[in-house]
Structure 1
Amino acid sequence: MQTLQDDASDTQHVSPSALAVPLREFNLLRWFSIISLLIIASVAGGLGYFSTRFVVRDSVERDAMLTAQFIQAMAQAEVRHSQLPPGTTMGELLDPRMDGQHLQISEALVRATRVEFLDHVEHLPDTLLANVYARDHTIVWSTNSELIGKRIGEDDDLQQAFHSRQAVSASYHKVDEDREEQKFLREPQYLFIENYIPLFDTQGEQVLSMVEIYKEPQDLVRRIQRGYVLIWVSTLVGGALIYFGLFWIVRRAAQLLHHQQDRLVASETYVALGEMSSAVAHSLRNPLANIRSSAELAQDIASPAAQKNITDIISQVDRMSRWVRELLVSLRPTSDDPEAVDLVAALEDTRLAFAQQIERNGVRFSLVGPQVQWVASQPLQLTQILNSLFANALEAMPNGGELRAEVGVVEGQQAQLVLSDTGKGMTRQQERMVFKPFFTTKQGGLGVGLALVKRIMERFGGSVSLSSREEEGTRVSLIFKRAAGGDHGAQHPGGRG
């Protein structure tokens, strides 16, 4: 079937609107996929980063607070245990350079109290390094003996702890080689915490000594790592669910929008076609009828040599009249209420209508299928579909061929008609464009035949598809809804010819 020659022949004709440079289509789904992925990934990454930072900071601050409270409580307990005079604090006993200057306290008792306290500090769990600073920032005791006696001048955290009279903590992942006080006896593996714990005078206003503890809390590190995993897994899963949920919604919206756009374009096309068809009908119908009548009268008295030319005139007039009818039918308002129509009977009626042309072209016709097949359509609309398909198929086979119609049932509730010919066929590009309104490759064609077929089939819940190969023929498949109560009947034994 040149199939549906209304849409396939030798010379390609395209409407003027098709020649215009098309606007670049906005791909909603693609841009949403890219932009939403970037936004959600950025938000999820930011949430994950700040959440993990919060977990580390909160955990470090809590550990530092507990360590400071423990050191300060231990210092007070050691003073009470040594039965030192009232008003004595551990802060004033930690600098061995001041041992001879404590009134009412022997140097031996001072040293014993200090040693007992520092022994507790040295054996704190998870300790990497412990330093004790005097008021002049000199290290007077350390678990690393190489640091004793060194004065630390530039240390912002140490300065802040002395001036603010509050415990200061910080966390690190890497040892700073430029800081003299970070001379650990062993390298930390993952995370270590630096705590500055001030020890005050009796009134709690002046810092007398500063205890610096470097810890690598193994249990805290494990909890932080578990928190990292939980936060990032939750963030990734949540971000993925949000992204794919929104993607599905937008994908559905894009499909519906595309469908609505197609329907809008088709509606506008048919409105324009209606206006044009009305103008064509009023302008051409009467002149065409007069031309045909005059030609028929002339044919009765014309010489044999003129008979052929007059016959061509009548043929071309009939062809133009058929175009006008197709335009009017394609825009005629139709009801969406389907009726039960016998597809096999409609095929037989169409075959009889085209019997002379089938015989003149030397085409063999066969019908395979049940005796009766009821489908949901309307008689006039179904006749229009079959007439368009038969006309195109026969025009594709001017020198003979085979036109085959097969009727069957698919998926229980649907009936199928496959109409195939052995005509010229189409190119791949023509096959893709064949259902577009006003697209035609036929000299003088209007390009409404297949567009009308598609419109009618979809109106009644059916569909149409086409496949073709050049010089091999065309195959058109129509899928109908079966009408309620339809009878299948018996198979044709050998088809009709």
Structure 2
Amino acid sequence: MPEFIARHRVVEIGLDRIIDTVNNEIDEFGVSTIEMFYVHKTEEMCCILEAPSQEAIKNHYTNAGLVCGYIAPIERIDTKIGEKSERLRAIGELAARLAHDLRNPLSVIKNTVEIMESKQVLHIEEKIIYYGRLRRAIDRISHQIEDVLDFVRPTQMKFQKYLLNDIINSALEKIVRPDDVEVILPTTFVYCICDQTKIEIVLANLIMNSIQAMSGTGTIKIVLSDTPNDVVIQVSDTGCGIPENILPKIFEPLFTTKQTGTGLGLASCKKIIEQHGGLISATSRENQGTTFTIILPKQFVSKKIEKLVASN
């Protein structure tokens, strides 16, 4: 039977009589009092009860000559506490990961600046080396922060018609690609109504994941398809693949198998694609590779555009 907590005002002088009245095993309304607490300062009685419904509890107290000021299911209270604890846990875990991931590039920046300050004259070759270290460390910090912001901040989507091939090329320009990684670009040209910046973020994330999965050597193939109802993007690699027991979890926030990273990259991708009314999924075979598939429905975006035009 469901459990409830109830609270009401009780004058202490009549406390014993009320306890005898309400503390029955099971009354005619199906209410059983499990525990009772009296707070002298506020003259309030709190009871934990088993009852078929809140209405039964109200009838129970009315029969005892009491007016109940508060009734709530214990399950609801526990759920709210659990949700708050879960949010706090997630925030704490994310903060710990960020602190860990940012410590290394910050150390690189600090050490490099100290070396540069200790030298009275820097030759051009040294400048190239030191500035390269600084740039890579800064890029790494920026990437970590952008991962978090892309996931948590609410942003207004800006839908326009774009050539997806251009978005793919733009994403590739922002990625450091090893010489031994071959990228096979789409042979078809496909237009899509989307938020260019957001889709570029998704593609950059998927391509970087593929590069890491292949340990710097292998092939990435990007395929575009244009159907009457959808635009489909597929990003495949020849990497190590994702174990079957891990595959269902990869889009969960904070889930990661890497030593570094916030675990928000793929979760952010999923959020962006869902904002486009689409779906993102992954198929994988260990030691053979992984394919990510994005489906963007044309009808969803068209309705968004119609609403925007109508509002203007």
**Residue 346 of structure 1: CA displacement?**
0.3
| 1:299-338 deviations in Å (ceiling 9; x for gaps) | 9849x99x98996676455323311121122222112563
Structure number with greater Rg is 1
- Structure 1 residues 481 and 397, CA, compared in 2 at 3 Å: closer, same or farther? same
The yes-or-no answer on 1:291 pairing with 2:114 is no
1:342 paired residue number: 163
CA positional deviation for 1:384: 1.1
Query: What residue in structure 2 maps to residue 379 of structure 1?
Result: 196
> TM-score, normalized by length of structure 2?
0.56
Q: Secondary structure at the match of 2:272?
A: helix
CA RMSD across the alignment = 4.2
Aligned to 1:367: 185
* 1:201-212 map, 5 Å: none
Structure 1 contact 468–474 (Cα < 8 Å) conserved: yes
| Residues 289/471 of structure 1: CA separation in 2 closer, same or farther (3 Å cut) | closer
For 1:320, the equivalent position in structure 2 comes to 141
- Contact kept? 2:238, 2:288, Cα under 8 Å: yes
Gaps of 5+ in 2: 1-78, 303-312
Residue by residue, what CA displacement relative to the aligned partner does 1:122-144 show, whole Å, maximum 9, x if unpaired? Answer: xxxxxxxxxxxxxxxxxxxxxxx
2:244 matches 1:423? no
Separation in structure 2 between the aligned mates of residue 364 and residue 429 of structure 1, nearest angstrom? 29
Compared with structure 1, are the counterparts of its residues 386 and 269 closer, same or farther at alpha carbon in structure 2 (3 Å cutoff)?
A: farther
**C-alpha deviations, 1:242-281, integer Å up to 9, x for none?**
xxxxxxxxxxxxxxxxxxx9xxx8xx8699659967x969
Aligned equivalents of 1:373, 1:329: Cα separation in 2: 24
Q: Secondary structure at the match of 1:420?
A: strand
- Relative contact order: is structure 1 or structure 2 higher (C-alpha 8 Å, sep ≥ 6)? 1
Aligned residues with identical type, % of pairs: 25
For 1:386, give the aligned amino acid: L
1:405 aligns with 2:226: no
Gap runs ≥5 in structure 1: 1-260, 485-497
Q: Where does residue 476 of structure 1 map in the other structure?
A: 292
Distance 1:290 1:387 in 2: 25
Deviations 1:147-191 (A, max 9, x none): xxxxxxxxxxxxxxxxxxxxxxxxxxxxxxxxxxxxxxxxxxxxx
SS at match of 2:197: helix
Equivalent residue for 1:462? Answer: 278
Aligned length: 213
Counterpart in 1 of 2:306?
Answer: none
Name the structure with the higher strand share. Answer: 2
Give me the whole-angstrom Cα distance separating, in 2, the residues matched to 1:326 and 1:436: 14
The secondary structure found in structure 1 opposite 2:241 is coil
1:361·1:394 contact (CA, 8 Å) conserved in 2? no
Q: What is the TM-score when the length of structure 1 is the normalising length?
A: 0.37
1:444, CA displacement in angstroms? 1.5
Q: In the alignment, is residue 440 of structure 1 matched against residue 288 of structure 2?
A: no
